[in-house]
Structure 1
Amino acid sequence: MKTIVKLLFVVICLFAIYFSAANSADASYAVIDAETGRLLSGSNAHAQAPIASLTKMWTALVAIENSNLDDKVVISRQAALSEGSSIYLESGEKITVETLLYGLMLRSGNDAAYALAEHTGGSLEGFIDLMNEKATLYGLKNTYFTNPSGLHHDLHLSSAYDTAMMLKIALENDTFRKIATTVNYKSIEKKGVTWQNKHRLVQEQNGAVAGKTGFTKAAGRTLATYFEKDGKKVIVVTLRESNDWQVHKHLANHVFSQYDVVTVAEKGEYKATEDTTVSLNKPIKLLLNKQEEQGIKNVIHLSRSKSKYGIWHVFLNKENIYSTRVTLK
């Protein structure tokens, strides 16, 4: 771990504080810092494209946040007859939200996605509204959902970057993280069947911690993977990449070899003005390569009002790459 010793502080008075690897021409990818969401590497990273079953990461998060894990879901005929990949739910069967979530994330069950949507949203349409509202809330500008499973629809689109951000956001939820990092799950409700995570890199447990697979004829192969190594955390997403397993390992290893975890500001108190002290409650650590370390500046925004808080920004040259709220004394 490295530390940037030289810190530059700029106090700005404000009236208020608001808080490839690609094989084909239309392939895209994004590699982001899993802590901050900063795009580290990419190709067509913001281009809209179908994402297939990577949709289910967002479906899982919305279901977790709007239902109880021990809720019993009565499987409808429509859910049981869902097109595509399945965990073989039967009409009239009662099964918990928790089991459906494991079937959704590990086995990519479209029937599980449909059942969760009906239960959580009151209807398929109601759940899709929840998905899109949450995407808007998190600023996923290139994302729009028309279903909870990722089956092809001309308007059901996202981007490699937005999809990577979906996984970042979802992993902040402890329940999602527990499910998404599971390699094998034995379902008591489904007659003791064991579900193995379809994500081959997660199965290998060699740096890949969580993720999701996807495929439709229209989308091609899609893949999202969260990697950890030596305190470095990145998320890789590829869309329409046929050699995705190898590409993900290559992209993650490249970032791990080129970037270090750098402490750009230590935890503590800093004198911002003659009568104002800024308290940073935890150190700011970012993934930076050697060239970027030279371009880091720390900027503090203060309010003219008697607010107890300010905003600490980290700029890489002229780009704001990280912000956090700080206490003023």
Structure 2
Amino acid sequence: MRQWIVVVLSCMIVLMSFGRTAEAATATSSYAVIDADTGRLLIGMNEHERLPIASLTKMWTAFVAIEESSLNTKTTISKKATLSEGSSIYLVEGETTTLKTLLNGLLLRSGNDAATAIAEEVGGSVDGFVKLMNDYAVLYGLSDTQFENPSGLHNDKHLSSAYDTAQMLRIAMQDKDFRKIATTKYYKNDLKNPTVWKNKHKLLHYNKYAIAGKTGYTKVAGRTLATYFEKDGKRVIVVTLNESNDWQVHAGFAEAVFEKYDKRLLAKKGLYQVRDDLQVELKHPVYALISKEERNKVKSILRMPRIEKGNTGIWTFYLDGQPLIEEPVQMVWK
């Protein structure tokens, strides 16, 4: 059993409930608004209710594919892929393209044929890839989520929540390749019938703070939407499920959060003295969105293994007794 030395380092701020805003009141089903840096839930309603998420599934499909393969991987399109039900980028049986092109078709145009082609290439089969999707969901703690296909076509068991879906986008956006594709507004493909794809997410074209996201729709799921907003260093993710007024709701939520929350520095990058013979090094600064009403105390605790000359500790920041964010620190012995 691993033992730890626990050091209480500082007290800065305490969490208060955001409460329902006017914008929140306009949303009608399930939604989650999170801090994209820490994953903290800022606003929510029925945020853990397990619901169909339609094509928001494709964010996780893209993330898993990028983690498991190379963007330059060449893929020959199968007949099964071309016969995929629903939205399509019109792949042709036997044509060869790259995983990069398929991922752009997946995220920008929501191609179900692209989802099938990616699954067959990366997972060996659709079923093999869906297993990977679920394995990654377990790895990243998406406890509300179960995948049955890579596209989001309706299946009674294919469910997630607004909260988990927001976390999917937060996790995926930390990958530079995913981020580059997800923030693309137009992409000229190299398919047999080449064309220029326009990102279906309307806010990316009309709201200067919306930089990435995904649309979705099935008759059962209704309209589903995920949006990643950035303004003045603040990063916010909004997810709504079964929301017909989604464009306006997303813009309203983002505006409310940007107005209410400041980006606060919790810890600077650098060395911290723990005791006479030991310092710890934080490799990058730690930030969180904190409202003006939350300027009381935050506790941060450093845990270090009880191993002579150990190498790594964990610095955890708490809001109101709940973990906010964990950061590894390098132990520097004198």
Task: Give the TM-score taking structure 1 as reference length.
Answer: 0.91
Which of 214-223 and 305-314 deviates more? 305-314
Equivalent in 191, 214, 217 of residue 215 of structure 1: 217
Alignment match, 1:9: 9
Letter of the structure 2 residue corresponding to residue 290 of structure 1: K
Alignment match, 1:318: 321
Q: Distance in 2 between matches of 1:240 and 1:205?
A: 22
The CA deviation at 1:98 is 1.4
Alignment match, 2:21: none
Going from structure 1 to structure 2, the CA distance change for 1:68 and 1:9 (only over 3 Å counts) comes to closer
Which of 247-256 and 69-78 deviates more? 69-78
Secondary structure at the residue paired with 1:9? strand
Q: Distance in 2 between matches of 1:280 and 1:40?
A: 26
Percent identity of the aligned residues? 56
Contact 1:183 1:203 in 2 (8 A): yes
Q: Spell out, residue by residue over 1:198-234, the C-alpha distance to the aligned partner (whole angstroms, 9 max, x if none).
A: 0000122510000000000010000000000001001
Letter of the structure 1 residue corresponding to residue 216 of structure 2: G
Contact 1:292 1:316 in 2 (8 A): no
Going from structure 1 to structure 2, the CA distance change for 1:277 and 1:72 (only over 3 Å counts) comes to closer
The CA deviation at 1:78 is 1.5
Q: Spell out, residue by residue over 1:66-87, the C-alpha distance to the aligned partner (whole angstroms, 9 max, x if none).
A: 2222322222221111111011
The CA deviation at 1:293 is 2.5
Secondary structure at the residue paired with 1:148? coil
The CA deviation at 1:21 is 4.1
Alignment match, 1:256: 258
Q: Distance in 2 between matches of 1:131 and 1:308?
A: 33
Equivalent in 49, 52, 60 of residue 50 of structure 1: 52
The CA deviation at 1:22 is 5.3
How many correspondences in the alignment? 312
Unaligned 5+ segments in structure 2 are: 1-7, 11-23
Q: How does 1:34-183 map to 2 (within 5 A)?
A: 34-183=36-185
Q: Spell out, residue by residue over 1:118-152, the C-alpha distance to the aligned partner (whole angstroms, 9 max, x if none).
A: 11111111000010001100000010100000000
Going from structure 1 to structure 2, the CA distance change for 1:264 and 1:69 (only over 3 Å counts) comes to closer
Q: Distance in 2 between matches of 1:72 and 1:322?
A: 38
Q: Distance in 1 between matches of 2:148 and 2:26?
A: 27
Going from structure 1 to structure 2, the CA distance change for 1:98 and 1:305 (only over 3 Å counts) comes to same
Q: Distance in 2 between matches of 1:225 and 1:148?
A: 20
Secondary structure at the residue paired with 1:314? strand
Q: Spell out, residue by residue over 1:267-295, the C-alpha distance to the aligned partner (whole angstroms, 9 max, x if none).
A: 33333234432322322211111222313
Alignment match, 1:226: 228
Secondary structure at the residue paired with 1:162? helix
The CA deviation at 1:327 is 2.0
Q: Distance in 2 between matches of 1:217 and 1:107?
A: 19
Going from structure 1 to structure 2, the CA distance change for 1:67 and 1:276 (only over 3 Å counts) comes to closer
The CA deviation at 1:59 is 0.7
The CA deviation at 1:182 is 0.6
Q: Distance in 1 between matches of 2:97 and 2:321?
A: 52
Unaligned 5+ segments in structure 1 are: 1-7, 11-19
Letter of the structure 1 residue corresponding to residue 268 of structure 2: E
The CA deviation at 1:302 is 2.2
Alignment match, 2:241: 239
Secondary structure at the residue paired with 2:9? coil
Contact 2:27 2:249 in 1 (8 A): no
The reply on whether 1:267 has 2:266 as its aligned counterpart is no
Contact 2:89 2:111 in 1 (8 A): yes
Q: Distance in 2 between matches of 1:190 and 1:34?
A: 38
The reply on whether 1:327 has 2:330 as its aligned counterpart is yes
Q: Distance in 2 between matches of 1:61 and 1:320?
A: 25
Letter of the structure 2 residue corresponding to residue 110 of structure 1: N
Q: Distance in 2 between matches of 1:71 and 1:300?
A: 42
Q: Spell out, residue by residue over 1:251-280, the C-alpha distance to the aligned partner (whole angstroms, 9 max, x if none).
A: 011110010011122233333234432322
Contact 1:22 1:28 in 2 (8 A): no
Alignment match, 1:13: none
Alignment match, 1:309: 312
